[in-house]
């Protein structure tokens, strides 16, 4: 089975990572790759790492006629807000859609006003999208034609906490999340706060009380979340540390919580549950999430840790995992489970 994919916004980090992973997938063929700011530029010139698999292909500007080239799936790797203008046309064309931005992750349109500071321009389409976290919503993704891939921070946090919330083991009123991300999470375009001189030998918090990914965490945990993101001086990776109180009457120990996570993910190909504290380096280049947990008997606090590669399990790898489900392929097809080290 050959699946022809069009990638809109392929010149960014998320889009180029999709191109990298697709090159190792036996069933995916890149029909075209758009990059408005890089139209006419050879993919290999912008990303020499892709030269062996895209030696002559160039980024093109998007135009509706591209959809007539036998495209089965369109992946949108655009900044937030841009997908809303394009999805209605794509939906009319009848292609499967995977959106890597936040445009269709939230079902409640009013949350876009609150967390993104602007109204949603296609609220009538929100319900047509499935949240693309396979470990939690696999059956929905299998039958979906439109998927909104989760944000990288919510992916790490939800994978760590959802089994405990669903089992009634932790209190939902207030969950505290501290998470650090590599600089690639901010995208390829240069920004003052992501230059080398700003990021190198620096570690800083940002988005205090207002980070937009909070809405996803709260929606899928049905809980109150206080989220503080941090920017770490590394290219890739997310490490999320979450703190929660045990639910009333729950007698929790480290062994009990680790066992709950291990049971929840026993058959999952991309989840590692271990007593070892997870590290971002262990996940680099892989589609795996590494999880661990502790229960502090002194304070009664449950601590859950999760590490992922923000560009793979947090973005492009997750998109391919969803794509495999949508088209009926084995879910792990073409996705790496082993990280790159050193």
Tokens of 322: 């969803």
Give the closest residue to 241 by CA, choosing from 181, 288, 330, 328.
Answer: 181
Closest CA to 293 of 140, 113, 137, 167: 167
Long-range contacts from 253-256, C-beta under 8 angstroms, 24+ separation? 253/295, 253/297, 254/293, 254/294, 254/295, 256/295
Residue 119 burial (10 A CB sphere; 0-12, 13-18, 19+): exposed
| Sign of the CA dihedral running 154, 155, 156, 159 | positive
Q: What sign for the dihedral angle of Cα 154, 155, 157, 162?
A: positive
Q: Is 40 left (phi over 0), alpha (psi -120 to 50) or beta?
A: left
Catalytic residue among 152, 197, 288, 322: 152
Peptide bond into 203 cis (omega under 30): no
| 152 classed as catalytic | yes
Which residues participate in catalysis according to the annotation?
152
């Amino acid at each position: 089975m050959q699946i022809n994919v069009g990638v809109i916004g392929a010149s960014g980090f998320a889009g180029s990572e999709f191109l990298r992973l697709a090159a190792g997938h036996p069933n995916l063929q890149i029909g075209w790759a758009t990059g408005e700011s890089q139209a006419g530029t050879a993919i290999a010139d912008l990303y020499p790492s892709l030269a062996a698999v895209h030696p002559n292909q160039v980024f093109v500007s998007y135009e509706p006629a591209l959809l007539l080239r036998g495209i089965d799936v369109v992946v949108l790797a655009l900044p937030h807000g841009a997908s809303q203008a394009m999805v209605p046309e794509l939906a009319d064309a009848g292609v499967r859609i995977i959106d890597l931005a936040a445009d269709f992750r939230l079902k409640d349109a009013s949350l876009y006003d609150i967390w993104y500071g602007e109204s949603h321009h296609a609220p009538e389409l929100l319900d047509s999208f499935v949240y693309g976290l396979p470990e939690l919503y696999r059956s929905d993704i299998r039958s979906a034609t439109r998927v909104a891939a989760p944000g990288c921070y919510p992916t790490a946090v939800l994978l760590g906490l959802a089994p405990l919330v669903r089992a009634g083991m932790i209190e939902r009123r207030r969950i505290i999340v501290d998470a650090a991300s590599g600089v690639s999470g901010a995208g390829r375009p240069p920004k003052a706060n992501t230059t080398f001189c700003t990021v190198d030998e620096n570690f800083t918090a940002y988005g205090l009380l207002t980070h937009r990914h909070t809405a996803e965490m709260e929606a899928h945990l049905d809980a109150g979340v206080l989220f503080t993101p941090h920017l770490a001086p590394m290219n890739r990776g997310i490490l999320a540390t979450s703190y929660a109180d045990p639910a009333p009457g729950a007698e929790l120990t480290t062994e009990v919580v680790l066992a709950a996570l291990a049971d929840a993910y026993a058959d999952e190909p991309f989840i590692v549950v271990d007593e070892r504290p997870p590290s971002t380096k262990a996940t680099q280049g892989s589609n795996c999430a590494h999880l661990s947990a502790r229960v502090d008997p002194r304070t009664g606090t449950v601590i859950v840790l999760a590490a992922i590669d923000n560009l793979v399990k947090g973005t492009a790898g997750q998109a391919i995992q969803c794509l495999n489900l949508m088209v009926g392929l084995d879910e792990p097809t073409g996705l790496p489970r082993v990280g790159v080290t050193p």
